[in-house]
Amino acid sequence: MEENPTLESEAWGSPRGWLAPREARGGPSLSSVLNELPSAATLRYRGPGVLPWGALEEEEEDGGRSRKAFTEVTQTELQDPHPSRELPWPMQARRAHRQRNASRDQVVYGSGTKTDQWARLLRRSKEKTKEGLRSLQPWAWTLKRIGGQFGAGTESYFSLLRFLLLLNVLASVLMACMTLLPTWLGGAPPGPPGPNISSPCGSYNPHSQGLVTFATQLFNLLSGEGYLEWSPLFYGFYPPRPRLAVTYLCWAFAVGLICLLLILHRSVSGLKQTLLAESEALTSYSHRVFSAWNFGLCGDVHVRLRQRIILYELKVELEETVLRRQAAVRTLGQQARVWLVRVLLNLLVVALLGAAFYGVYWATGCTVELQEMSLVQELPLLKLGVNYLPSIFIAGVNFVLPPVFKLIAPLEGYTRSRQIVFILLRTVFLRLASLVVLLFSLWNQITCGGDSEAENCKTCGYNYKELPCWETVLGQEMYKLLLFDLLTVLAVALLIQFPRKLLCGLCPGALGRLAGTQEFQVPDEVLGLIYAQTVVWVGSFFCPLLPLLNTVKFVLLFYLKKLTLFSTCSPAARTFRASTANFFFPLVLLLGLAISSVPLLYSIFLIPPSKLCGPFRGQPSIWAQIPESISRLPETTQNFLFFLGTQAFAVPLLLISSILMAYTVALANSYGRLISELKRQRETEAQNKVFLARRAVALTSTKPAL
């Protein structure tokens, strides 16, 4: 009975590759025992043939035995058949291992079945393709620099800007191939209808007659009227050709589908990061400390940037942990007070949003009445201001209310990441709902308030007296919104942000710091991008060159925001989790795409096209061109296309989709149960290690007495 403690203590006290400190050799402490665990050995490992971190020089007398053990381990590791990238070595050791075993790798690559070789070749080709596409991404180094200096939240804004630039470039390329090219290949487009040409739906004369002054030319450039109204910029320019009409409509659907797929792909990848960050698997500080470093970094600049990124991530974790602890210790009365404050603040937000929406509706309705006044017609500058009245009102509301929402969010007692989400929700609702109100006002003018029996809409199905080419008018409104948004961004940067920075340099002291200290407001900037992209999605069908204009705008915006960020802004005092941005920003972008699809689909299927302009003139609806084009196809093709719309195709497709969905859900549930079981096993193993270490220390402490 007395031999067991002695034997166990000797077994635990014997060194197994890691030497205990000199002062602890008489009896190992808890820390020395923990240092002998495999996890500690992994952390201290530096590569084959190299002593681990923490091996003291003063332990030379016992070094022969340790070095011999390391030599044996090294020989075993150098004969390891695993690829170099899978070994837990530094980059230099991996490179040496790969060069040493290059000939062996060639032999292994040539062995195996044909299926294995093709699978290996396909995997390597896929990896090389990903690396090539990653190298083609613009501004990669700039985004790393921004993330290291200002945090991952600010970097997410520029990453979203680059993603939207990709969407607009793809839309512009498709527009050029499916709209502009067929237009010019089919012959020179006809000119605008003359002033003497009339029809039951009135007359349409987009060109002004006589000599045009410079002020009028400037007005036409900013409003999209005059010489721009009958140009490839707008819908009315394109001639009524059957093939062009089909490609025009297919272009709109192709752009929407591509944007939807790319946004969903980005949202899913962001969702994975969000779920991992919100779970307890990766929010521990040990993950940031031991797993976040990239050992392949070269150069002091890259190392410092990575250090700053890890620093910002740790700051986010610490801030949110403090808030969670404060929320956990609240009493019932404090909880009731917090919820009461939240309810009152949300009522205030609803009241502000309602007032803003009514103002946008009023401004849009008054624009038509003010344009008919003789004083407005005589003064070009006043006429330009009246035409931009809805845009000015929307920009004013979007400029005033987001700072109010920003002041309200901290009073609700949420974490920083949750505050960002609520600010984004309220701001996106403000911006997108303002756009919806504007579209509703335009719909009210086009369809005579939905009354097809009204005097102005009875003949042609739309208000042909005030809007003879309503598609072009709708495109002009979106064009003005896009242009005014760009002018607003330039004005804010040149007239507010840079002067504040100059005032900070001219006025030393507290006043200068108060006036010049600025932070990059990620929620406002992101919502500005999503609002601009939603405007483009709404107006791209009626203004085909709008994606191209938005591409130029986003390139200018990137360099302007970069200059503003590094010149006038300081790092944020409070950061938020990057995973929240990676998931929530594409989700809001998806909401903008859904909102923009409603007026577009309504216009395609329900509102009659203009009878005097556009490729669909003379059709009862824009969609009517598709069945008419299908009727010209061979009978076999027609039968196949009509079969796709029958129940014989839809019901089996629905059943197969349901089965696949049920299988995916069951597979996800099984994976979830397996992950939960592995987590429990991990916790049990950790508890077992701690228990064994404490037991060993207790037995060692009783050794002198025995």
The tens digit of pLDDT for each residue in 151-209 reads 777 888 898 899 999 999 999 999 999 998 888 887 777 777 766 666 777 778 776 65
Q: What is the pLDDT of residue 626?
A: 86
Which pLDDT band, with edges at 50, 70 and 90, does 1 fall under? Answer: very low
Q: What is the pLDDT of residue 231?
A: 87
Q: How far apart are CA 141 and CA 146, in angstroms?
A: 9
Q: Identify the weakest region by mean pLDDT among 50-54, 359-363, 573-577.
A: 50-54
Q: What is the pLDDT of residue 444?
A: 83
**Closest Cα partner for 422 from 433, 412, 431, 432?**
412
Q: How far apart are CA 333 and CA 338, in angstroms?
A: 9
Q: How far apart are CA 442 and CA 365, in angstroms?
A: 9
pLDDT tens-digit profile of 465-521? 888 888 888 998 899 889 988 988 898 888 888 887 777 767 766 666 666 567 787
Provide mean pLDDT across the span 373-390: 72
Contact 143, 155 (CB under 8 A): yes
Tokens of 40: 């500690």
Contact 236, 613 (CB under 8 A): yes
Average pLDDT, the chain: 76
Q: What is the pLDDT of residue 469?
A: 86
Q: What is the pLDDT of residue 18?
A: 40
Q: What is the pLDDT of residue 542?
A: 92
pLDDT tens-digit profile of 48-59? 555 554 554 444
In the chain the first and final C-alpha atoms are separated, in Å, by: 11
Q: How far apart are CA 67 and CA 90, in angstroms?
A: 20
19 φ/ψ angles, rounded to the nearest 5 degrees:
-85, 130
Tokens of 687: 């508890």
User: Would you give the DSSP letter of residue 570?
Assistant: B
Contact 525, 154 (CB under 8 A): no
Q: What is the pLDDT of residue 376?
A: 67
Tokens of 26: 């008489």
Q: How far apart are CA 482 and CA 557, in angstroms?
A: 13
Which pLDDT band, with edges at 50, 70 and 90, does 299 fall under? Answer: low
DSSP class per residue in 504-563: HHHS-SHHHHHHH--B--HHHHHHHHHHHHHHHHHHTTTSTTHHHHHHHHHHHHHHHHHH
Q: What is the pLDDT of residue 25?
A: 44
Report the SS3 class of residue 251. Answer: helix
Percent of the chain whose predicted confidence (pLDDT) is above 70: 74
Q: How far apart are CA 447 and CA 456, in angstroms?
A: 9
Residues contacting residue 527 through CB under 8 Å, at least 6 positions apart: 402, 424, 427, 428, 431, 588
Q: What is the pLDDT of residue 277?
A: 57
Which pLDDT band, with edges at 50, 70 and 90, does 23 fall under? Answer: very low
Q: What is the pLDDT of residue 209?
A: 57
pLDDT tens-digit profile of 211-269? 667 777 777 888 888 888 888 899 988 988 888 889 999 999 999 999 999 998 888 77
Tokens of 39: 């996890």
Q: What is the pLDDT of residue 634?
A: 86
pLDDT tens-digit profile of 72-120? 555 555 555 566 666 666 667 777 777 776 655 555 545 556 777 787 7
Contact 576, 585 (CB under 8 A): no
Tokens of 267: 């949202």
Total count of residues recorded for the chain: 706
Contact 12, 24 (CB under 8 A): no
Q: Identify the weakest region by mean pLDDT among 37-46, 90-99, 467-476, 579-588.
A: 37-46
Question: Does the structure show a pLDDT above 90 at 555?
Answer: yes
Which of 247-256, 420-429, 490-499, 642-651 is the most confident on average? 247-256
Question: Does the structure show a pLDDT above 90 at 705?
Answer: no
Which of 71-80, 381-390, 446-455, 551-560 is the most confident on average? 551-560
The rounded Cα 363 to chain-centroid distance in angstroms is 32
Measured on CA atoms in the order 541, 542, 545, 547, is the torsion positive or negative?
A: negative
Q: How far apart are CA 140 and CA 123, in angstroms?
A: 25
Provide mean pLDDT across the span 292-304: 69
**141 or 302: which leads in pLDDT:** 141
DSSP class per residue in 46-85: -STTSPPTT--GGGGGGHHHHHHHHHHHHHHHHT--S-GG
Report the SS3 class of residue 184. Answer: helix
